[in-house]
Amino acid sequence: MVDDAVAAIRSGGLVVLPTDTVYGLACAAEDRSAVRALSALKGRSPGQPIALLAADLVTARALVPELPDHALALAAALLPGPFTLVLPNPACRLPGLAGERPDTIGVRVPDLDGVARELLDRVRAVAATSANLHGGRDPGRLQDVPGEFLAAAVALDGGELPGVPSTVVDVTGREPRVLREGAVPASAALASIADALGE
């Protein structure tokens, strides 16, 4: 099944994959038509950002080589793990993912194993969002993923997941801002960032 998922990503298709938090809906990060199809299936506005889910920070930096050193240092302290970090993207790379803020990009390096680890090791990076309809319940099991997603994508079953999405933190400004509290409570997220920054 992983072979089918790799083929789908490489041919512009969609994949449902388990992460370390919830099931995600993914496609090739650099394929703008695939990203549009992902947004349309989910019922999201094209102006809403989609995260870059990378196998590791080396991969993320290869795709966004202008990531500032301080942002990379912070990301290295928090990832892999249940965070999505909104980082500066000065060259506006991967514009299909950026939404209305093309000079930023959400980067996620999940702590994976099993079929999801194998997939990401082979394709290196995908665009990914939670595999639910916009505003719907976050799926912790494959059977919680909407049927229309499963009909349109290759699905990988990773068993039962925590079912709470990643915590999204914007670190592009002078002070970090928690945009969505998820698997890591906001106070703990900000404390981890302060520790990483030596504050």
Three-state SS annotation for 84-104: EEEEECCCCCCHHHHCCCCCE
Query: How do strand 177-180 and strand 167-170 relate by DSSP bridges?
Result: antiparallel
> What average pLDDT does the segment 136-153 reach?
96
36-53 pLDDT per residue, tens = 999 999 998 878 999 999
Tell me the β-bridge partners of 155: 16
Q: Which residues, at least 6 apart from 4, have a Cβ–Cβ distance to it below 8 Å?
A: 154
65-119 pLDDT per residue, tens = 999 888 888 899 999 999 999 999 999 999 999 888 999 999 999 999 999 999 9
Please tell me the predicted confidence (pLDDT) of residue 124.
97
Domain CATH code at residue 62: 3.90.870.10
Q: How confident is the model at residue 121 (pLDDT cuts 50, 70, 90)?
A: very high
> What average pLDDT does the segment 155-172 reach?
96
Name which of 88, 84, 128 is nearest 109 in CA terms.
84
57-66 pLDDT per residue, tens = 999 999 999 9
Of all residues in the chain, what percent carry a pLDDT higher than 70? 99
Please tell me the predicted confidence (pLDDT) of residue 128.
97
Amino acid letter at 87? L
What CA–CA distance (Å, rounded) separates 18 from 157?
7
- Strand blocks (E) in 32-176: 51-54, 83-88, 104-108, 125-130, 153-155, 167-170
What CA–CA distance (Å, rounded) separates 189 from 40?
31
> What average pLDDT does the segment 161-176 reach?
94
**Ramachandran angles phi, psi of 166, nearest 5°:** -65, 155
Q: What b/e string do you get for 111-125 counting C-beta neighbours within 10 Å, with b at 16 or more?
A: ebeebbbbbbeebbb
Please tell me the predicted confidence (pLDDT) of residue 199.
64
Token output for 74: 């912070």
Give the SS3 label for residue 80: coil
The whole-model pTM stands at 0.94
- Domain with 100, as residue range(s), is 2-197
Residue 178: HSE in the Cβ half-sphere, 13 Å Cα cutoff = 17
Q: Please measure the distance between the N-terminal and C-terminal CA atoms of the chain and give it in whole angstroms.
A: 46
Structural domains of the chain, count: 1
